[in-house]
Amino acid sequence: MTSRREDAYATFRPRRSRYVSIGTAIAVVVVFGITAFTIPRGGVTGWSGVDSAAMFVFGLAVAGFLLRYALVRATPTKEGLHVQNLIVSRDIAWAQVVNVQFGGGAPWLVLELDDTDTLAVMAVQRSDGDFANAEARRMAALVEAHNRRAGND
Q: Are 126 and 132 in contact (CB under 8 A)?
A: yes
Residue 81 inside a domain? The answer is: yes
State the residue range of the domain holding 59.
Answer: 16-70
Residue 43 has pLDDT above 50, yes or no: yes
Last residue of a domain, one of 70, 103, 134: 70
> Do 78 and 66 belong together in one domain?
no
pLDDT 10s digits, 83-102: 999 999 999 999 999 999 99
Band of residue 6 on the pLDDT scale cut at 50, 70, 90 = low
What pLDDT is attached to residue 3? 47
Domain count, the chain: 2
> Do 145 and 83 belong together in one domain?
yes
Residue 42 inside a domain? The answer is: yes
Q: Smallest Cα–Cα separation from 39: which of 62, 55, 28?
A: 55
| Percent of the chain at pLDDT exceeding 90 | 76
Measure the CA–CA gap between 105 and 24, rounded to whole angstroms: 25
> For 9-113, where are the E strands, in sequence order?
73-76, 80-84, 89-93, 97-101, 108-113
Residue 6 inside a domain? The answer is: no
> Do 80 and 117 belong together in one domain?
yes
> Do 28 and 79 belong together in one domain?
no
Residue 4 has pLDDT above 60, yes or no: no
Residue 139 has pLDDT above 80, yes or no: yes
What pLDDT is attached to residue 46? 77
What is the four-CA torsion angle of 102, 106, 21, 67, rounded to 10 degrees? Answer: -80
The domain spanning residue 78 has which CATH number?
2.30.29
